[in-house]
Amino acid sequence: MEAQVRTILREHSGLGNAVRAIGIHDSLWLMGMTSAASVEVMLALESTFGFEFPDSELRHATFASIFSIVRSVRDLTGSVAR
């Protein structure tokens, strides 16, 4: 799942190939991801994993790091993060 999230981030976050060097707990916000880009990331995650983020998950912390995104997707889909 982490690899899929990294691919989505590379394609939709505005961070491009820099995503490859970002640590799982590094702040995507500090790396330069914008709130507009986070919406693109959210839509790509929903499309890829076949779910919809509930309003309660639409917050800054959900998209703060690769770890937080993987955790949210895993929790919302019942998948096991790899």
pLDDT digits (tens, 9 = 90+) for 8-36: 999 999 999 999 999 999 999 999 999 99
* Domain-embedded: residue 61: yes
* Domain-embedded: residue 65: yes
Range of the domain at 34: 2-77
Alpha carbon distance 63, 36 (integer Å): 12
Q: Which of 44, 43, 12 lies closest to 28 in space, CA to CA?
A: 12
* Domain-embedded: residue 82: no
- The structural domain count of the chain equals 1
Q: Which of 72, 19, 21 lies closest to 45 in space, CA to CA?
A: 72
What average pLDDT does the segment 50-76 reach?
96
Alpha carbon distance 4, 32 (integer Å): 20
Could you tell me the CATH number of the domain that includes residue 51?
A: 1.10.1200.10
Alpha carbon distance 57, 72 (integer Å): 8
Report whether pLDDT(82) > 90. Answer: no
* Domain-embedded: residue 70: yes
